[in-house]
Amino acid sequence: MPKRKTETVNPVLAKPLTPRQKKFAEEVVLGRCSNTESARRAGYAESSAAVRACELLHIGKFPHVAAYINELRQELSKKYEISYEGHLRDLGDLRDKAAANNQFSAAINAETHRGKVGGLYVDRKEVLHAHINAMSKDDLIRRLEQLDLETDGAIKKVVEGDYKDVSQT
């Protein structure tokens, strides 16, 4: 008894792409130009490039071209895919390689970035709407005293010293 084919292959999808169709698909996936320009770059005539681009992207007329475009897009997506776990793993690998080569600055930098990805660091930024240059000396002193109170005297601990008023000279 003869064996049956269990899979049927669409003959149109199995049709090999021409070099121009392949080049067109690659240009479309890169996305650096319009579909018409992609057809021109693939070698189609200037006068018919817009029509060829439309036809080649029509899944009913050229399903094998559409399938190739989809395949290229999936490959590109996998190539640049990023995940939390993969990102942490890659940073860890970079840290280990840097440390093994006695590049401790790079290793520390990689580890710091791992910590940021993991949420161990919090960036705190205070956005000021007024420039310090626009403040008068009295306003500046009042603001520093206010900040000193808010930080339990941390500013006075840091800024202990004499200063000379140079605004009058």
pLDDT, tens digit, 9 for 90 and up, residues 24-38? 999 998 888 889 999
pLDDT band, very low/low/confident/very high, at 94 (cuts 50, 70, 90): confident
CB atoms within 10 A of CB 12: 12
Structure-token match 């660091």, residue found? 121
pTM of this prediction? 0.46
156 vs 22, more confident: 22
- The DSSP 8-state label assigned to residue 168 in this structure reads T
pLDDT band, very low/low/confident/very high, at 91 (cuts 50, 70, 90): confident
Give the chain's end-to-end CA distance (angstroms, integer): 109
Any idea where the domains of the chain sit in the sequence? 11-79, 84-117, 131-158
CA distance 74 to 3: 34
3-state secondary structure of 83: coil
CA distance 97 to 91: 10
Q: Which two tokens stand for residue 56?
A: 């080649």
By the 8 A CB rule, do 23 and 42 touch?
yes
3-state secondary structure of 57: helix
CA distance 111 to 93: 10
Domain 11-79 CATH assignment equals 1.10.10: yes
